[in-house]
Amino acid sequence: MNDHSLRVYDSIVGLLPSVDNPTPLVRLNRVIPFEHTEVYAKLEWYNPFGAIKDRVAFNMMRDAEDRGVIGADRNLVEPTSGNTGLGLAMLANVNGYSLTTTLSNQIPLEKRTMLRLFGADVVELEDDLCPAPWAPEGAIARAHEIAEQPEFHMLNQYENPANPEAHYMTTGPEIWRQTEGTVTHFVAGLGTCGTISGTGRYLKEQDPNVQVLGVHPNEGHDIPGVRSVRQLEQTRFFHPDEYEGLVEIHDKEAFELCLRLNREESITAGPSSGLALAGALRLIPDEPGNVAVVIFPDSVFKYASSVVKHLAGLGPGQASSRSKREELFDEMIENTRANPDLTIDVASAHELWEKQEPLVIDVRDYDEYRETHVQGAVSIPLEELHDRRSELPEDRHTPVLTVCQRGNISLSGVLFLTSLGYQNVRSITGGTNAWQEMGYATESS
């Protein structure tokens, strides 16, 4: 008997999530630039083997057993970017199967090592990070080849309806119950698309107004588990017409947000959680009543060798902790964010913009500015503010607004301008995203 209230279980399998034993939903507080929209992270590393894919591994195995398709030799083979393999390997141990996983040697060493530790037979191949179905030498083709032998069975998460069904049966109902039916936006990173399809379908059946939003990485990305649009187009469960929004997030933004989630929220989120959240912040407007749930597929511990490539200062011999000076700066930024004299909500900023024609300084990189910016804003990237201070108005009482993408970097702009003596300067909360979402005038150049 499994007792979820006491958390006493007959075996490790009893820990698998269900509506009675959901993975946690945790509100994000510090990395969210919103005033109204509530954002919750669903922490999927609370699955027994460490990732969202445990749900899929379990359901595919149960389904195959029910259908009696696993042969007497009880050998499974599966192409994987790691997490499905990890879940399957452990369930194979529980149920007396053997597991062979075919995977790319670009998958982080930690995952490949853990697969071996869990007892899987690991076939490493020169393949893309995400196995491509059409690559003749790739992990998927190799798994198919092995599965042609009668003693092997391939569950095939890329095509098996038991993959989205796992989320329809568990992830969706959990979210619906945990939010007491108030969820308005559901956000997931896209890999096989099992998560978004199954959970999205369940939530829309409860409330057709739930917005289902997908996030994918850029072409050539380095985030295990998720796929670029080109890679997604080759998978069976990618149905973008069923999503209300789809957005691309670059590695840099995903890894930086992963870092912030760990340091500012103390949530041990992995890189694809950073990706999903970055997409959520792009797509979801800041409005009363909005309740967003973002899937955080796994924790950062398996990605040491990835994060060290993408984030400065983490390698051996590099500075291991932030200096007091950096901590002081971070505190100044947080104080600025909370100071109503130094920030302005987007509606009030717009009113000011119409009536007083303040100087609007866009502090983002030129590329971002060129793509779209608040109408009439001048571009001075943050790094150039110091050198270009002679371009700033002489009158220190001139109303000035600083703006960036989401209202974070513009806080540094406010600090700098205030230090120069400007007395009427504020950062637009929510940044260009919020401005655009309100339908206020923007331009590109």
Ligand X SMILES: Cc1ncc(COP(=O)(O)O)c(C=O)c1O
In whole angstroms, the minimum distance from the beta carbon of 84 to ligand X comes to 8
Stretch that binds ligand X, among 186-194, 282-290, 311-319, 379-387 (CB under 6 A): 186-194
189 binds ligand X (CB under 6 A): yes
Q: Where are the alpha helices (DSSP H) in 286-345?
A: 304-310, 324-338
Dihedral sign from CA coordinates of 82, 88, 91, 93 = negative
Q: Round to the nearest angstrom and report the end-to-end CA distance of the chain.
A: 65
Per the residue annotation, which of 272, 273, 299, 410 is the catalytic one? Answer: 272
Note the Cα 178 to chain centre separation in Å.
Answer: 20
Contact (CB, 8 A) for 435 and 411: no
- Distance, in Å, from the CA atom of 108 to the CA atom of 113, rounded to the nearest integer, reads 9
Beta-strand ranges (E) seen in 46-148 are 75-79, 98-104, 121-125
Beta-strand ranges (E) seen in 237-364 are 245-249, 291-296, 343-344, 359-362
Residue count, binding to ligand X (CB under 6 A): 17
195 binds ligand X (CB under 6 A): yes
- Distance, in Å, from the CA atom of 414 to the CA atom of 425, rounded to the nearest integer, reads 6
In whole angstroms, the minimum distance from the beta carbon of 143 to ligand X comes to 16
398: DSSP letter: S
Stretch that binds ligand X, among 3-11, 147-155, 219-227, 244-252 (CB under 6 A): 219-227
In whole angstroms, the minimum distance from the beta carbon of 192 to ligand X comes to 3
- Distance, in Å, from the CA atom of 225 to the CA atom of 295, rounded to the nearest integer, reads 13
Contact (CB, 8 A) for 358 and 393: no
- Distance, in Å, from the CA atom of 143 to the CA atom of 156, rounded to the nearest integer, reads 9
Site for ligand X in 73-102 (CB under 6 A): 83
Residues contacting 142, CB < 8 A, separation 6+: 79, 102, 123, 125
Position among 22, 33, 131, 225 found at the interface with ligand X (CB under 6 A): 225
Per the residue annotation, which of 53, 197, 299, 302 is the catalytic one? Answer: 53
Contact (CB, 8 A) for 155 and 78: yes
214 binds ligand X (CB under 6 A): no
- Distance, in Å, from the CA atom of 288 to the CA atom of 293, rounded to the nearest integer, reads 15
In whole angstroms, the minimum distance from the beta carbon of 189 to ligand X comes to 3
Stretch that binds ligand X, among 143-151, 173-181, 189-197, 281-289 (CB under 6 A): 189-197
190 binds ligand X (CB under 6 A): yes
**Which is closer to ligand X, CB of 253 or CB of 298?**
298
Closest of 138, 47, 137 to residue 86, by C-alpha: 47
53 in active site: yes
Contact (CB, 8 A) for 167 and 58: no
- Distance, in Å, from the CA atom of 52 to the CA atom of 167, rounded to the nearest integer, reads 9
194 binds ligand X (CB under 6 A): yes
298 binds ligand X (CB under 6 A): yes
170 binds ligand X (CB under 6 A): no
**Would residue 404 be called left, alpha or beta, if left means φ above 0 and alpha means ψ between -120 and 50 degrees?**
beta
199 binds ligand X (CB under 6 A): no
Which residue type occupies 400? V
193 binds ligand X (CB under 6 A): yes
213 binds ligand X (CB under 6 A): no
Stretch that binds ligand X, among 193-201, 243-251, 333-341, 423-431 (CB under 6 A): 193-201
Site for ligand X in 302-361 (CB under 6 A): none
Stretch that binds ligand X, among 108-116, 131-139, 223-231, 315-323 (CB under 6 A): 223-231
**Which is closer to ligand X, CB of 130 or CB of 342?**
130
192 binds ligand X (CB under 6 A): yes
Site for ligand X in 114-133 (CB under 6 A): none
22 binds ligand X (CB under 6 A): no
**Which is closer to ligand X, CB of 154 or CB of 361?**
154
Note the Cα 88 to chain centre separation in Å.
Answer: 23
Position among 187, 276, 277, 401 found at the interface with ligand X (CB under 6 A): 276
In whole angstroms, the minimum distance from the beta carbon of 41 to ligand X comes to 12
- Distance, in Å, from the CA atom of 137 to the CA atom of 43, rounded to the nearest integer, reads 35
23 binds ligand X (CB under 6 A): no
Rounded (5°) CA angle 138-144-149: 135
Stretch that binds ligand X, among 34-42, 192-200, 308-316, 406-414 (CB under 6 A): 192-200
In whole angstroms, the minimum distance from the beta carbon of 242 to ligand X comes to 13
Position among 39, 115, 226, 385 found at the interface with ligand X (CB under 6 A): 226
Q: Helix (H, G, I), strand (E, B), or coil: what is residue 230?
A: helix
Position among 272, 343, 410, 433 found at the interface with ligand X (CB under 6 A): 272
Residues that bind ligand X in the complex, under the rule CB under 6 A: 51, 53, 83, 189-195, 224-226, 272, 276, 297-298
The catalytic site residues sit at 53, 272
